[in-house]
Each structure stands twice: as structure tokens, then as C-alpha cells.
Amino acid sequence: MQAMEAFLASRARPTIGAYKAKEAPMKPLTFVLALVLATWLMPLRNSEARPWDALHCGRTDLAHLPAKYFLGETCSAPCDGAEHFFDLKKDPNLEHPLPKSAVRYGEDDEIYYRGVKCRGFTAKDYEQIKD
């Protein structure tokens, strides 16, 4: 141990007074600009940003909203804490939920609306809704 201390002491550079490392000046504006640029350039697809999913069920398009949107004081009717389905063509503002008896789940979590099997929207389908 003493040999290691002697070796380190022989390699140390002498300093006059207290040694203080210089810190690089912080440039918050550069950091903020880099953060804004990275966020702006980050790709964001509509299907990833959407809080609900849409389904094609034959000629009908459905919106499926999870139960978390129907809980608490800030929810709009119905506030029953259950998931709901809405017809996107007849009710684009999602104000009137479809009856629960019209939608059912199959064995492998497939969704059926009035006996017709539903499939999820693709990214192209979501873009058509946006337009």
C-alpha cells in the first residue's frame, strides 16, 4: 500500500494554492434548442397518439374507448366506469354509445358487432379520418 502511495505521489503535479477545476460554462439556450429540435423531428404517427382504437366491422366503423375515460368527476356521460363503443359514421363526436348487447368478444379477444367480425384500423385508415 505504501508503494502505491509513493508511486502516486511521485506522479502528482505540484499545485500552488487550492486547486479548483474549471467548469464549462452552462449554455441553457443551446440545450433548449437541441431539445426543441429533437422533439420537432421525432416522428409521431396518428395511430400511436390516439387514446382510442377504431375498428372496421363490415360497413360500420366503430370507436372503442376504454373504461378509464368514463371514471371520475371530469367524465362526460355515461360515467359508469365501463368501456364503450361508438359508431364513427353516425356519431363522429362520440356522444351516444352503442348498446352493450350489440358488441361481443370472441374466444381469442376478437370483437364482433352484430355478428360481424371487426378488424383494427391501419395507419392509412386513421389518415382518412383526419381529413
Q: Distance of CA 110 to CAs 105, 118, 120, Å? A: 6, 7, 10
Q: Are strands 116-117 and 53-57 parallel, antiparallel or unpaired?
A: unpaired
List the chain residues with pLDDT less than 50.
44-47
User: What cell does 79 get?
Assistant: 360515467
Give residue limits of the domains in the chain: 48-126
Span 64-98, pLDDT tens digits: 998 888 888 777 778 888 899 999 889 888 889 99
pLDDT at 105: 92
pLDDT of amino acid 67? 86
pTM above 0.85, yes or no: no
| Element housing 3 (H / E) | helix 2-11
Buried b (16+ CB within 10 A) or exposed e, 77-107: eeeeeebbbbbbeeeeebeebbeeeebeeee
